[in-house]
Amino acid sequence: MAVEVLTTADGRAKSALSRAHAATWRAARAAGTPLPVGTATPPLHPARPTTPRLLPPRDVPRRRPGSPQGRIALLHAVAHIELNAVDLHWDIIARFGHVPMPLGFYDDWVKCADEESNHFNLICDCLEAQGSHYGALDAHAGMWRAAEDTAEDLFGRLAVVPMVLEARGLDVTPGMIEIFRKAGDPQTLAALSVIYAEEVAHVAYGSKWFNWLCGRDGLDPKDQFHALVRRYFHGSLKPPFNEEKRAEAGLPPDFYWPLTEADAP
Ligand SMILES: [Fe+2]
Ligand SMILES: [Fe+2]
């Protein structure tokens, strides 16, 4: 099921299949007959629609959010992040099926994938309400790099994807919400509020399973986290941090502050 989502190219079709598979998983769990997890061979790169064109990050033009065009560009970038997030959550399920994990691990990532699919749809709806659509602008090609870099390392995947990249989302979303509040755009405001509320749990699941794996292996989670982020994440973490939401998600300050530029070795 995860590989089916990963190999579906169209964004709306991918999110629809993702939501349908999540519902099937949940229904089987609720009936007390969980689906077998099994193993799979996910593609190294998920299937993607022919547009947007994917460019190196430095070639994607930056636009100021003060104009309607700038806000469309911002929403387009968010849609691209959400589509990647759908694939990232199914990828962790498919890629690490050989690692024995409690069923709750799959419950959590299936739920995240389902929510990312809804986020993608919500943001696409906002773009379409403004006369644009996902694929109308160029997007970053680098978004899948974290998945490739950590394809062999579940600890690294958890450290970099939910605990660094999704945690970064918690830092920047309040600023985006402010932009659309000022612009008087209630539809986008509502979509971003859903995203902001649900992303806290995605980071929390990352932290939960990272700590669980460290506990299983008798490793110090903080030391492991620092070593893995330095190994797999390109660049330093950027303050200001959303300390409150990070705390809610189980990310203590001594995990992320030592990885900022000022603290880098
Ligand atoms: Fe999301
Ligand atoms: Fe997320």
CATH number at residue 84: 1.20.1260
Expressed in angstroms and rounded, the spacing between residue 80 Cα and the centre of ligand 1 is 10
Q: 201 C-alpha to center of ligand 1: Å?
A: 10
Q: Look at residue 196 and tell me whether its pLDDT is greater than 90.
A: yes
Please check the confidence at residue 264 and state whether its pLDDT lies above 60: no
Tokens of 54: 């994917």
56 is a domain residue: no
Q: How far apart are the first and last CA of the chain?
A: 43
* Gap between the Cα atoms of 36 and 50, Å rounded: 34
The total number of structural domains that make up the chain: 1
Nearest ligand to the CA atom of 200: 2
Is-contact 1 10, C-beta < 8 A?
no
pLDDT, residue 262, reads 67
**Distance from Cα 215 to the centre of ligand 2, integer Å:** 24
Distance 109 CA to ligand 2 centre (A): 10
Percent of the chain with pLDDT over 90: 92
**In-domain check, residue 209:** yes
Q: How far is the CA of 36 from the centre of ligand 2 (A)?
A: 25
The yes-or-no verdict on residue 61 having pLDDT over 90 is: no
- Concatenating the DSSP letter of every residue in 37-67 gives -------SS----S-SPEE-GGGSPP--TTS
- Host domain of residue 139: 2-47+66-263
C-alpha pair distances (Å), 168 with each of 39, 47, 132, 161: 31, 25, 26, 10
Pairwise CA distance, residues 89 & 69, whole Å? 30
The pLDDT-based confidence of 62 (bands split at 50, 70, 90) is confident
- Residue 238 belongs to some domain of the structure: yes
Say if residues 24 and 1 touch (Cβ distance below 8 Å): yes
Residue 211 lies in a domain: yes
The ligand that comes nearest to the alpha carbon of residue 78 is: 1
* C-alpha 65 chain-centroid distance: 23
The mean pLDDT value of the chain amounts to 96
Which ligand sits closest to the CA of 81?
A: 1
Position 261 scores a pLDDT of: 82
Q: What is 178-242 written as a DSSP string?
A: HHHHHTT-HHHHHHHHHHHHHHHHHHHHHHHHHHHHHHHHT--HHHHHHHHHHHH--S-B-SPP-
The pTM of the full predicted model, rounded to 2 decimals, is 0.96
Sequence-separated (6 or more) residues with CB below 8 Å from residue 22 = 110, 111, 113, 114, 117
The mean pLDDT value for 162-172 works out to: 97
Question: Domain for residue 53, yes or no?
Answer: no
CA-nearest of 160, 233, 183 to 75 is 183
Ligand 1 centre from 77 Cα, in Å?
12
- 204 assigned to some structural domain: yes
User: Is the pLDDT at 208 greater than 70, yes or no?
Assistant: yes
Query: Ligand 2 centre and the CA of 182: distance in Å?
Result: 25
